[in-house]
Chains A and B, each alone.
Chain A
Protein backbone atom coordinates (compact mmCIF):
# COMPACT_ATOMS: atom_id res chain seq x y z
CA UNK A 1 0.00 0.00 0.00
CA UNK A 2 1.34 3.41 -0.97
CA UNK A 3 -1.28 5.89 0.12
CA UNK A 4 -1.41 9.33 -1.37
CA UNK A 5 -3.92 12.11 -0.80
CA UNK A 6 -5.10 13.97 -3.86
CA UNK A 7 -6.90 17.25 -3.25
CA UNK A 8 -8.83 19.20 -5.83
CA UNK A 9 -9.77 22.79 -5.05
CA UNK A 10 -11.52 25.24 -7.35
CA UNK A 11 -14.77 26.46 -8.80
CA UNK A 12 -17.34 23.70 -9.16
CA UNK A 13 -17.91 22.62 -12.75
CA UNK A 14 -19.19 19.61 -14.66
CA UNK A 15 -16.90 16.60 -14.95
CA UNK A 16 -14.11 17.33 -12.45
CA UNK A 17 -14.39 13.97 -10.71
CA UNK A 18 -14.82 12.16 -14.04
CA UNK A 19 -11.63 13.63 -15.49
CA UNK A 20 -9.52 12.96 -12.42
CA UNK A 21 -10.88 9.42 -12.11
CA UNK A 22 -10.24 8.70 -15.78
CA UNK A 23 -6.63 9.78 -15.37
CA UNK A 24 -6.24 7.61 -12.27
CA UNK A 25 -7.78 4.59 -13.98
CA UNK A 26 -5.51 5.02 -17.02
CA UNK A 27 -2.51 5.23 -14.69
CA UNK A 28 -3.52 2.14 -12.63
CA UNK A 29 -4.01 4.10 -9.45
CA UNK A 30 -6.66 2.61 -7.18
CA UNK A 31 -9.10 4.95 -5.41
CA UNK A 32 -9.73 3.96 -1.78
CA UNK A 33 -11.96 6.82 -0.67
CA UNK A 34 -13.51 9.99 -2.06
CA UNK A 35 -15.12 12.81 -0.14
CA UNK A 36 -16.04 16.33 -1.05
CA UNK A 37 -17.25 19.48 0.59
CA UNK A 38 -17.71 23.15 -0.16
CA UNK A 39 -15.35 25.43 1.83
CA UNK A 40 -16.04 29.17 1.50
CA UNK A 41 -17.75 28.69 -1.83
CA UNK A 42 -15.02 26.53 -3.30
CA UNK A 43 -15.29 22.96 -4.38
CA UNK A 44 -12.98 20.80 -2.24
CA UNK A 45 -12.46 17.17 -3.08
CA UNK A 46 -10.17 14.71 -1.39
CA UNK A 47 -9.25 11.30 -2.67
CA UNK A 48 -7.25 8.70 -0.84
CA UNK A 49 -5.52 6.58 -3.46
CA UNK A 50 -3.11 3.67 -3.52
CA UNK A 51 -0.18 4.24 -5.86
CA UNK A 52 1.31 0.76 -5.42
CA UNK A 53 -0.10 -0.42 -8.77
CA UNK A 54 1.40 2.24 -11.04
CA UNK A 55 4.91 2.20 -12.48
CA UNK A 56 4.93 5.99 -12.74
CA UNK A 57 7.07 7.95 -10.29
CA UNK A 58 5.37 10.11 -7.66
CA UNK A 59 6.73 13.28 -9.26
CA UNK A 60 5.37 12.33 -12.69
CA UNK A 61 1.88 11.64 -11.35
CA UNK A 62 1.95 14.88 -9.35
CA UNK A 63 3.06 16.86 -12.43
CA UNK A 64 0.48 15.26 -14.72
CA UNK A 65 -2.34 15.83 -12.24
CA UNK A 66 -1.25 19.44 -11.81
CA UNK A 67 -1.36 19.90 -15.58
CA UNK A 68 -4.79 18.23 -15.72
CA UNK A 69 -5.96 20.63 -13.01
CA UNK A 70 -4.87 23.60 -15.09
CA UNK A 71 -6.83 22.24 -18.03
CA UNK A 72 -10.03 21.98 -15.96
CA UNK A 73 -9.40 25.23 -14.09
CA UNK A 74 -8.86 23.74 -10.61
CA UNK A 75 -5.82 23.16 -8.41
CA UNK A 76 -4.84 19.52 -7.95
CA UNK A 77 -2.28 18.57 -5.34
CA UNK A 78 -0.69 15.22 -4.51
CA UNK A 79 0.72 14.62 -1.05
CA UNK A 80 1.81 11.45 0.70
CA UNK A 81 -0.58 10.47 3.44
CA UNK A 82 2.04 10.58 6.21
CA UNK A 83 1.96 14.36 6.56
CA UNK A 84 -1.72 14.28 7.53
CA UNK A 85 -1.30 11.19 9.67
CA UNK A 86 1.53 12.69 11.65
CA UNK A 87 -0.32 15.95 12.20
CA UNK A 88 -3.73 14.58 13.11
CA UNK A 89 -3.18 11.10 14.58
CA UNK A 90 -1.35 10.10 17.73
Chain B
Protein backbone atom coordinates (compact mmCIF):
# COMPACT_ATOMS: atom_id res chain seq x y z
CA UNK B 1 0.00 0.00 0.00
CA UNK B 2 1.04 3.61 -0.60
CA UNK B 3 2.86 5.09 2.40
CA UNK B 4 2.72 8.57 3.82
CA UNK B 5 6.18 9.57 2.60
CA UNK B 6 5.22 8.82 -0.98
CA UNK B 7 2.06 10.84 -0.60
CA UNK B 8 3.96 13.76 0.90
CA UNK B 9 6.57 13.59 -1.88
CA UNK B 10 3.94 13.72 -4.62
CA UNK B 11 2.03 16.56 -3.00
CA UNK B 12 5.19 18.59 -2.40
CA UNK B 13 6.01 18.23 -6.10
CA UNK B 14 2.58 19.60 -6.94
CA UNK B 15 2.36 22.32 -4.32
CA UNK B 16 5.94 23.56 -4.03
CA UNK B 17 7.69 22.53 -7.24
CA UNK B 18 5.05 23.40 -9.86
CA UNK B 19 4.48 19.84 -11.05
CA UNK B 20 1.64 19.96 -13.50
CA UNK B 21 0.27 18.46 -16.66
CA UNK B 22 0.99 21.25 -19.10
CA UNK B 23 -1.64 20.37 -21.63
CA UNK B 24 -4.25 17.92 -22.79
CA UNK B 25 -4.46 18.46 -26.52
CA UNK B 26 -7.31 16.96 -28.48
CA UNK B 27 -6.30 16.31 -32.08
CA UNK B 28 -9.19 16.43 -34.54
CA UNK B 29 -9.05 15.53 -38.22
CA UNK B 30 -10.89 18.01 -40.44
CA UNK B 31 -10.33 16.04 -43.65
CA UNK B 32 -13.98 14.99 -43.70
CA UNK B 33 -15.07 18.65 -43.59
CA UNK B 34 -13.54 19.52 -46.96
CA UNK B 35 -16.00 21.35 -49.20
CA UNK B 36 -15.68 23.61 -52.22
CA UNK B 37 -18.09 26.13 -50.68
CA UNK B 38 -16.44 28.31 -48.04
CA UNK B 39 -19.59 28.88 -45.94
CA UNK B 40 -20.37 25.19 -45.83
CA UNK B 41 -16.72 24.40 -45.03
CA UNK B 42 -16.71 26.82 -42.09
CA UNK B 43 -19.99 25.38 -40.78
CA UNK B 44 -18.68 21.84 -41.00
CA UNK B 45 -15.43 22.78 -39.26
CA UNK B 46 -17.30 24.57 -36.46
CA UNK B 47 -19.71 21.69 -35.93
CA UNK B 48 -17.12 18.93 -35.97
CA UNK B 49 -14.80 20.69 -33.53
CA UNK B 50 -17.67 21.72 -31.27
CA UNK B 51 -19.16 18.23 -31.12
CA UNK B 52 -15.80 16.54 -30.54
CA UNK B 53 -14.39 18.98 -28.02
CA UNK B 54 -17.40 20.23 -26.07
CA UNK B 55 -16.56 18.13 -23.00
CA UNK B 56 -12.79 18.57 -23.14
CA UNK B 57 -12.43 21.41 -20.64
CA UNK B 58 -14.98 19.96 -18.21
CA UNK B 59 -13.33 16.54 -18.33
CA UNK B 60 -9.86 18.04 -17.86
CA UNK B 61 -11.02 20.01 -14.84
CA UNK B 62 -12.67 16.97 -13.29
CA UNK B 63 -9.53 14.82 -13.71
CA UNK B 64 -7.51 17.63 -12.20
CA UNK B 65 -9.87 17.74 -9.21
CA UNK B 66 -9.89 14.00 -8.59
CA UNK B 67 -6.14 13.49 -8.72
CA UNK B 68 -5.20 16.85 -7.25
CA UNK B 69 -2.87 17.67 -10.14
CA UNK B 70 -3.19 20.94 -12.07
CA UNK B 71 -3.89 20.55 -15.78
CA UNK B 72 -2.85 23.96 -17.00
CA UNK B 73 -4.10 24.00 -20.58
CA UNK B 74 -6.72 22.28 -22.66
CA UNK B 75 -6.11 22.71 -26.35
CA UNK B 76 -7.18 21.55 -29.77
CA UNK B 77 -5.07 20.72 -32.79
CA UNK B 78 -6.55 20.26 -36.24
CA UNK B 79 -5.50 19.03 -39.68
CA UNK B 80 -3.26 21.59 -41.43
CA UNK B 81 -5.76 24.11 -42.76
CA UNK B 82 -3.97 24.47 -46.11
CA UNK B 83 -5.12 20.91 -46.87
CA UNK B 84 -8.65 21.47 -45.62
CA UNK B 85 -9.25 24.88 -47.20
CA UNK B 86 -7.60 24.32 -50.57
CA UNK B 87 -10.81 23.60 -52.46
CA UNK B 88 -12.77 26.52 -50.99
CA UNK B 89 -10.26 29.33 -50.56
CA UNK B 90 -9.26 31.47 -53.52
CA UNK B 91 -7.70 34.41 -51.64
CA UNK B 92 -5.73 34.88 -48.40
CA UNK B 93 -8.84 36.48 -46.87
CA UNK B 94 -10.81 33.30 -47.57
CA UNK B 95 -8.30 31.44 -45.44
CA UNK B 96 -8.54 34.10 -42.74
CA UNK B 97 -12.26 33.32 -42.52
CA UNK B 98 -11.38 29.75 -41.57
CA UNK B 99 -9.06 31.19 -38.89
CA UNK B 100 -11.99 33.23 -37.59
CA UNK B 101 -14.12 30.07 -37.46
CA UNK B 102 -11.41 28.24 -35.50
CA UNK B 103 -11.15 31.15 -33.08
CA UNK B 104 -14.90 31.21 -32.57
CA UNK B 105 -15.22 27.51 -31.87
CA UNK B 106 -12.15 27.52 -29.60
CA UNK B 107 -13.83 30.22 -27.51
CA UNK B 108 -17.14 28.33 -27.54
CA UNK B 109 -15.61 25.17 -26.09
CA UNK B 110 -13.37 27.14 -23.71
CA UNK B 111 -9.91 25.90 -24.75
CA UNK B 112 -6.75 28.01 -24.36
CA UNK B 113 -5.46 27.65 -27.91
CA UNK B 114 -6.27 25.96 -31.20
CA UNK B 115 -3.37 24.92 -33.44
CA UNK B 116 -3.22 23.76 -37.01
CA UNK B 117 -3.47 26.94 -39.04
CA UNK B 118 -0.64 25.27 -40.88
CA UNK B 119 0.94 24.30 -44.16
CA UNK B 120 3.46 21.54 -44.82
CA UNK B 121 5.75 22.82 -47.55
CA UNK B 122 9.05 21.09 -46.90
CA UNK B 123 9.57 20.35 -50.60
CA UNK B 124 7.17 22.55 -52.49
CA UNK B 125 4.15 24.82 -52.10
CA UNK B 126 0.71 24.33 -53.60
CA UNK B 127 -1.37 27.39 -54.41
CA UNK B 128 -3.40 26.70 -51.26
CA UNK B 129 -0.22 26.54 -49.15
CA UNK B 130 0.89 29.89 -50.55
CA UNK B 131 -2.49 31.52 -49.91
CA UNK B 132 -2.56 30.23 -46.34
CA UNK B 133 0.95 31.50 -45.66
CA UNK B 134 0.06 34.91 -47.13
CA UNK B 135 -3.03 35.04 -44.92
CA UNK B 136 -1.06 34.52 -41.68
CA UNK B 137 -0.60 38.23 -40.78
CA UNK B 138 -4.35 38.83 -41.20
CA UNK B 139 -5.33 35.56 -39.51
CA UNK B 140 -3.13 36.07 -36.45
CA UNK B 141 -3.98 39.74 -36.03
CA UNK B 142 -7.74 39.19 -36.18
CA UNK B 143 -7.94 36.11 -33.93
CA UNK B 144 -6.85 35.46 -30.36
CA UNK B 145 -6.53 31.71 -29.91
CA UNK B 146 -5.42 30.48 -33.33
CA UNK B 147 -1.83 29.27 -33.65
CA UNK B 148 -0.02 28.81 -36.92
CA UNK B 149 2.91 26.61 -37.92
CA UNK B 150 4.67 26.08 -41.22
CA UNK B 151 6.96 23.14 -41.92
CA UNK B 152 9.60 24.33 -44.38
CA UNK B 153 12.08 21.48 -44.31
CA UNK B 154 12.82 17.88 -43.38
CA UNK B 155 15.70 15.43 -43.32
CA UNK B 156 14.06 13.48 -46.15
CA UNK B 157 13.27 16.40 -48.44
CA UNK B 158 15.78 19.13 -47.67
CA UNK B 159 14.82 22.75 -47.07
CA UNK B 160 12.37 24.72 -49.18
CA UNK B 161 14.27 28.00 -49.36
CA UNK B 162 11.46 29.74 -51.26
CA UNK B 163 9.26 29.06 -48.25
CA UNK B 164 12.01 30.17 -45.86
CA UNK B 165 12.35 33.49 -47.71
CA UNK B 166 8.59 33.93 -47.73
CA UNK B 167 8.39 33.19 -44.00
CA UNK B 168 11.06 35.81 -43.30
CA UNK B 169 8.72 38.45 -44.66
CA UNK B 170 5.57 36.85 -43.17
CA UNK B 171 7.08 36.96 -39.67
CA UNK B 172 7.79 40.65 -40.21
CA UNK B 173 4.31 41.36 -41.61
CA UNK B 174 2.72 39.54 -38.69
CA UNK B 175 4.79 41.68 -36.34
CA UNK B 176 3.58 44.82 -38.16
CA UNK B 177 -0.04 43.67 -38.11
CA UNK B 178 0.08 43.17 -34.33
CA UNK B 179 2.43 46.04 -33.42
CA UNK B 180 -0.16 47.58 -31.08
CA UNK B 181 0.25 44.50 -28.90
CA UNK B 182 4.08 44.41 -29.05
CA UNK B 183 3.98 42.15 -32.13
CA UNK B 184 2.30 39.41 -30.12
CA UNK B 185 1.06 37.72 -33.33
CA UNK B 186 4.55 36.30 -33.85
CA UNK B 187 4.29 34.39 -30.55
CA UNK B 188 1.59 32.31 -32.26
CA UNK B 189 3.67 31.49 -35.35
CA UNK B 190 6.29 28.73 -35.56
CA UNK B 191 8.45 27.67 -38.49
CA UNK B 192 9.52 24.02 -38.35
CA UNK B 193 11.92 21.52 -39.80
CA UNK B 194 10.82 17.88 -39.29
CA UNK B 195 7.55 18.95 -37.58
CA UNK B 196 5.98 16.09 -35.61
CA UNK B 197 2.38 15.09 -36.41
CA UNK B 198 1.41 14.60 -32.78
CA UNK B 199 2.88 17.55 -30.90
CA UNK B 200 0.56 18.71 -28.09
CA UNK B 201 2.45 21.96 -27.41
CA UNK B 202 1.61 25.34 -28.88
CA UNK B 203 2.18 27.21 -31.00
CA UNK B 204 3.34 24.29 -33.15
CA UNK B 205 0.57 21.73 -32.62
CA UNK B 206 -1.31 20.38 -35.60
CA UNK B 207 -3.11 17.10 -36.24
CA UNK B 208 -1.06 15.25 -38.85
CA UNK B 209 -2.65 13.49 -41.79
CA UNK B 210 -1.24 10.15 -40.60
CA UNK B 211 -3.29 10.42 -37.39
CA UNK B 212 -6.67 8.90 -36.51
CA UNK B 213 -9.92 10.89 -36.67
CA UNK B 214 -9.37 12.14 -33.13
CA UNK B 215 -6.68 11.55 -30.56
CA UNK B 216 -5.60 12.70 -27.09
CA UNK B 217 -2.01 13.87 -26.70
CA UNK B 218 -0.65 15.00 -23.37
CA UNK B 219 2.31 17.22 -22.54
CA UNK B 220 3.83 16.86 -19.09
CA UNK B 221 6.12 19.32 -17.46
CA UNK B 222 7.99 19.89 -14.24
CA UNK B 223 11.32 21.71 -14.50
CA UNK B 224 10.87 22.69 -10.84
CA UNK B 225 10.65 19.06 -9.78
CA UNK B 226 13.90 18.19 -11.58
CA UNK B 227 15.63 21.22 -10.09
CA UNK B 228 14.56 20.36 -6.54
CA UNK B 229 15.71 16.76 -6.99
CA UNK B 230 19.10 18.00 -8.21
CA UNK B 231 19.52 20.30 -5.19
CA UNK B 232 19.87 17.13 -3.13
CA UNK B 233 22.80 15.80 -5.19
CA UNK B 234 24.99 18.91 -5.38
CA UNK B 235 28.66 18.04 -5.90
CA UNK B 236 27.95 14.41 -6.85
CA UNK B 237 29.37 12.96 -10.08
CA UNK B 238 27.62 12.69 -13.44
CA UNK B 239 26.38 9.17 -12.83
CA UNK B 240 24.45 10.28 -9.77
CA UNK B 241 23.28 13.43 -11.56
CA UNK B 242 21.93 11.50 -14.56
CA UNK B 243 20.32 8.85 -12.41
CA UNK B 244 18.50 11.54 -10.41
CA UNK B 245 17.13 13.27 -13.53
CA UNK B 246 16.04 9.94 -14.98
CA UNK B 247 14.14 8.88 -11.86
CA UNK B 248 12.45 12.26 -11.58
CA UNK B 249 11.44 12.25 -15.26
CA UNK B 250 9.97 8.80 -14.73
CA UNK B 251 7.76 9.98 -11.88
CA UNK B 252 6.62 13.09 -13.72
CA UNK B 253 5.79 11.15 -16.86
CA UNK B 254 3.79 8.54 -14.97
CA UNK B 255 1.43 11.29 -13.86
CA UNK B 256 1.04 12.38 -17.48
CA UNK B 257 0.36 8.81 -18.54
CA UNK B 258 -2.36 8.49 -15.90
CA UNK B 259 -4.01 11.75 -16.94
CA UNK B 260 -3.81 10.78 -20.61
CA UNK B 261 -5.43 7.41 -19.99
CA UNK B 262 -8.20 8.92 -17.90
CA UNK B 263 -8.91 11.66 -20.44
CA UNK B 264 -8.94 9.10 -23.23
CA UNK B 265 -11.37 6.86 -21.34
CA UNK B 266 -13.73 9.64 -20.29
CA UNK B 267 -13.84 11.38 -23.64
CA UNK B 268 -14.02 8.16 -25.63
CA UNK B 269 -11.08 9.30 -27.72
CA UNK B 270 -8.01 7.07 -28.27
CA UNK B 271 -4.80 7.96 -26.45
CA UNK B 272 -2.02 9.09 -28.79
CA UNK B 273 1.21 10.04 -27.10
CA UNK B 274 2.83 11.63 -24.09
CA UNK B 275 5.22 14.42 -24.90
CA UNK B 276 8.04 14.33 -22.35
CA UNK B 277 9.15 17.91 -22.68
CA UNK B 278 10.34 20.00 -19.77
CA UNK B 279 8.35 23.14 -20.50
CA UNK B 280 9.15 26.17 -18.37
CA UNK B 281 6.77 28.97 -17.39
CA UNK B 282 7.56 32.46 -16.13
CA UNK B 283 6.72 31.30 -12.57
CA UNK B 284 9.74 31.39 -10.25
CA UNK B 285 11.27 27.92 -9.95
CA UNK B 286 9.60 26.61 -13.11
CA UNK B 287 12.69 27.12 -15.22
CA UNK B 288 14.94 25.00 -17.42
CA UNK B 289 17.73 27.57 -17.03
CA UNK B 290 17.59 27.01 -13.26
CA UNK B 291 18.21 23.28 -13.85
CA UNK B 292 21.25 24.13 -15.95
CA UNK B 293 22.42 26.37 -13.11
CA UNK B 294 21.89 23.56 -10.64
CA UNK B 295 23.89 21.21 -12.90
CA UNK B 296 26.76 23.64 -12.52
CA UNK B 297 26.85 26.58 -14.96
CA UNK B 298 26.63 30.06 -13.47
CA UNK B 299 24.11 31.22 -16.06
CA UNK B 300 22.55 29.50 -19.06
CA UNK B 301 24.93 30.37 -21.88
CA UNK B 302 28.18 29.91 -19.94
CA UNK B 303 30.68 27.38 -21.36
CA UNK B 304 29.38 23.89 -20.54
CA UNK B 305 25.75 24.86 -21.11
CA UNK B 306 25.34 22.85 -24.31
CA UNK B 307 26.78 19.73 -22.68
CA UNK B 308 24.60 20.21 -19.60
CA UNK B 309 21.51 20.63 -21.76
CA UNK B 310 22.42 17.57 -23.85
CA UNK B 311 22.62 15.33 -20.82
CA UNK B 312 19.47 16.82 -19.32
CA UNK B 313 17.51 16.23 -22.51
CA UNK B 314 18.75 12.67 -22.87
CA UNK B 315 18.05 11.69 -19.27
CA UNK B 316 14.53 13.14 -19.44
CA UNK B 317 13.88 10.89 -22.42
CA UNK B 318 15.47 7.84 -20.80
CA UNK B 319 13.33 8.20 -17.69
CA UNK B 320 10.23 9.08 -19.63
CA UNK B 321 10.19 6.30 -22.20
CA UNK B 322 9.90 3.66 -19.53
CA UNK B 323 7.07 5.51 -17.83
CA UNK B 324 4.78 5.72 -20.83
CA UNK B 325 3.59 3.23 -23.41
CA UNK B 326 3.70 5.79 -26.20
CA UNK B 327 6.10 8.67 -26.33
CA UNK B 328 6.02 11.20 -29.13
CA UNK B 329 5.69 14.85 -29.98
CA UNK B 330 8.83 16.84 -29.30
CA UNK B 331 10.00 15.21 -26.06
CA UNK B 332 12.99 16.98 -24.58
CA UNK B 333 13.68 20.31 -22.95
CA UNK B 334 12.26 23.58 -24.22
CA UNK B 335 14.46 26.64 -24.02
CA UNK B 336 12.15 29.56 -24.74
CA UNK B 337 13.56 32.85 -23.55
CA UNK B 338 10.51 34.89 -22.58
CA UNK B 339 8.76 31.99 -20.82
CA UNK B 340 11.69 31.17 -18.53
CA UNK B 341 12.81 33.58 -15.83
CA UNK B 342 16.25 31.94 -15.65
CA UNK B 343 16.76 32.48 -19.38
CA UNK B 344 15.68 36.10 -19.10
CA UNK B 345 18.17 36.61 -16.27
CA UNK B 346 20.91 35.01 -18.38
CA UNK B 347 20.19 37.36 -21.29
CA UNK B 348 20.13 40.37 -18.98
CA UNK B 349 23.42 39.31 -17.40
CA UNK B 350 24.98 39.14 -20.86
CA UNK B 351 25.60 35.39 -20.61
CA UNK B 352 23.28 34.24 -23.38
CA UNK B 353 23.33 35.29 -27.02
CA UNK B 354 21.27 34.30 -30.03
CA UNK B 355 24.26 32.33 -31.33
CA UNK B 356 24.63 30.35 -28.09
CA UNK B 357 20.91 29.63 -28.12
CA UNK B 358 21.31 28.29 -31.65
CA UNK B 359 24.09 25.96 -30.49
CA UNK B 360 21.90 24.77 -27.61
CA UNK B 361 19.10 23.88 -30.02
CA UNK B 362 21.38 21.25 -31.58
CA UNK B 363 20.98 19.07 -28.50
CA UNK B 364 17.47 19.72 -27.22
CA UNK B 365 13.98 19.78 -28.58
CA UNK B 366 12.61 22.62 -30.63
CA UNK B 367 14.76 25.64 -31.27
CA UNK B 368 14.95 29.39 -31.18
CA UNK B 369 11.83 29.93 -29.17
CA UNK B 370 10.14 33.12 -27.99
CA UNK B 371 13.10 35.34 -28.73
CA UNK B 372 12.43 39.06 -29.08
CA UNK B 373 14.62 40.81 -31.66
CA UNK B 374 14.70 44.43 -32.84
CA UNK B 375 11.71 45.47 -34.93
CA UNK B 376 13.90 46.82 -37.70
CA UNK B 377 15.54 43.45 -38.39
CA UNK B 378 15.47 42.82 -42.15
CA UNK B 379 13.17 40.15 -43.65
CA UNK B 380 16.17 38.42 -45.20
CA UNK B 381 18.02 38.32 -41.88
CA UNK B 382 15.01 36.63 -40.26
CA UNK B 383 14.94 34.19 -43.20
CA UNK B 384 18.67 33.56 -42.69
CA UNK B 385 18.14 32.75 -39.00
CA UNK B 386 15.29 30.42 -39.98
CA UNK B 387 17.49 28.71 -42.61
CA UNK B 388 20.27 28.12 -40.05
CA UNK B 389 17.88 26.55 -37.59
CA UNK B 390 16.23 24.41 -40.27
CA UNK B 391 19.67 23.17 -41.35
CA UNK B 392 20.39 21.99 -37.80
CA UNK B 393 17.16 20.00 -37.83
CA UNK B 394 17.70 18.60 -41.31
CA UNK B 395 21.25 17.39 -40.72
CA UNK B 396 20.66 16.06 -37.19
CA UNK B 397 17.36 14.34 -38.03
CA UNK B 398 15.52 16.19 -35.32
CA UNK B 399 12.74 18.71 -34.99
CA UNK B 400 13.84 22.31 -34.90
CA UNK B 401 11.71 25.41 -34.90
CA UNK B 402 11.89 29.17 -34.93
CA UNK B 403 9.56 31.50 -33.07
CA UNK B 404 11.08 34.94 -33.33
CA UNK B 405 9.34 38.17 -32.40
CA UNK B 406 10.64 41.26 -34.19
CA UNK B 407 9.11 43.85 -31.89
CA UNK B 408 8.06 46.77 -34.08
CA UNK B 409 9.23 50.12 -32.69
CA UNK B 410 11.60 48.62 -30.13
CA UNK B 411 15.31 47.92 -30.14
CA UNK B 412 18.10 46.24 -28.16
CA UNK B 413 18.05 47.14 -24.48
CA UNK B 414 14.27 47.46 -24.30
CA UNK B 415 11.96 44.77 -23.00
CA UNK B 416 8.65 43.51 -24.24
CA UNK B 417 5.80 42.23 -22.08
CA UNK B 418 3.54 39.50 -23.48
CA UNK B 419 1.80 38.56 -20.26
CA UNK B 420 0.57 35.26 -18.87
CA UNK B 421 2.40 32.07 -19.85
CA UNK B 422 4.25 33.94 -22.60
CA UNK B 423 6.13 36.09 -20.10
CA UNK B 424 8.41 39.02 -20.98
CA UNK B 425 11.65 39.28 -22.89
CA UNK B 426 14.64 41.55 -23.26
CA UNK B 427 15.21 42.35 -26.95
CA UNK B 428 18.33 40.52 -28.13
CA UNK B 429 20.83 41.82 -30.66
CA UNK B 430 20.98 40.18 -34.08
CA UNK B 431 24.11 39.80 -36.21
CA UNK B 432 24.07 42.83 -38.54
CA UNK B 433 25.90 41.33 -41.51
CA UNK B 434 23.80 40.66 -44.60
CA UNK B 435 22.67 37.31 -46.00
CA UNK B 436 20.55 38.84 -48.79
CA UNK B 437 22.36 37.11 -51.64
CA UNK B 438 22.05 33.75 -49.92
CA UNK B 439 18.35 34.01 -49.14
CA UNK B 440 17.44 35.49 -52.52
CA UNK B 441 18.88 32.59 -54.53
CA UNK B 442 15.52 30.77 -54.46
CA UNK B 443 14.84 27.05 -54.87
CA UNK B 444 15.60 24.43 -52.28
CA UNK B 445 18.50 22.91 -50.42
CA UNK B 446 18.75 19.21 -51.35
CA UNK B 447 18.18 16.48 -48.76
CA UNK B 448 21.37 15.43 -46.98
CA UNK B 449 23.12 12.12 -47.48
CA UNK B 450 22.03 9.54 -44.92
CA UNK B 451 25.22 7.55 -44.64
CA UNK B 452 28.82 8.58 -43.90
CA UNK B 453 27.69 10.04 -40.58
CA UNK B 454 30.48 11.73 -38.72
Contacts and interface: CB of A to CB of B under 8 A. Distances in A.
Interface of A: 5, 7, 32-33, 35-37, 39, 44-46, 48, 58-59, 62, 77-89
Given A59-B65, A80-B66, A82-B67, A87 B254 contact: yes
Contacts of B4: 35-37, 44-46
B2 A5 contact: yes
B67 A83 contact: yes
A73 to B, nearest CB: 18
Top-4 shortest CB links A-B? A79-B68, A83-B67, A86-B258, A86-B254
B7 to A, nearest CB: 5
A37 B5 CA distance: 9
Contacts of B5: 37
Interface in B48-83: 62, 65-69
Range of interface residues on chain B?
20 to 34
A62 B65 CA distance: 9
Given A80-B66, A83-B67, A86-B254, A39 B8 contact: yes
B11 interface: yes
A45 B9 CA distance: 13
25 contacts: A5-B2, A5-B7, A7-B8, A32-B1, A35-B4, A39-B8, A44-B4, A44-B8, A46-B7, A46-B8, A48-B2, A59-B65, A62-B65, A78-B68, A79-B68, A81-B2, A83-B67, A83-B255, A84-B6, A85-B2, A87-B251, A87-B255, A88-B2, A88-B6, A88-B10
Contacts, number: 64
A79 B66 contact: yes
Nearest to A63: B65
A80 B67 CA distance: 5
Contacts of A79: 66-68
A83 B257 CA distance: 10
Nearest to B65: A59
B3 interface: yes
B378 to A, nearest CB: 50
A3 to B, nearest CB: 9
Nearest to A89: B2
Contacts of B1: 32-33, 48
Contacts of A87: 6, 10, 251, 254-255
Contacts of A45: 4
Contacts of A32: 1
Interface string B253-287: 01101100000000000000000000000000000
Interface of B: 1-11, 62, 65-69, 251, 254-255, 257-258
B66 A58 contact: yes
Contact of A77 (B2, B6, B11): B11
Contacts of A85: 2
Contacts of B2: 5, 48, 81, 84-85, 88-89
Contact of A86 (B8, B11, B255): B255
B65 A83 contact: no
Nearest to A4: B66
B143 to A, nearest CB: 34
A17 to B, nearest CB: 14
B252 to A, nearest CB: 8
B54 to A, nearest CB: 20
A35 B6 CA distance: 12
Given A7-B11, A48-B1, A77-B11, A83 B6 contact: no
A48 B3 CA distance: 9
Contacts of B67: 79-80, 82-83
Which of A32, A46, A83 has the most C-beta atoms of chain B within 10 angstroms of its own C-beta?
Answer: A83
Contacts of A39: 8
A5 B258 CA distance: 16
A81 B9 CA distance: 14
A82 B258 CA distance: 8
Contacts of A33: 1
Contacts of B66: 58, 79-80
A78 to B, nearest CB: 8
Nearest to A80: B66
Contacts of A84: 2, 6-7, 10
B210 to A, nearest CB: 29
A37 to B, nearest CB: 6
B442 to A, nearest CB: 52
A87 B178 CA distance: 44
A37 B257 CA distance: 30
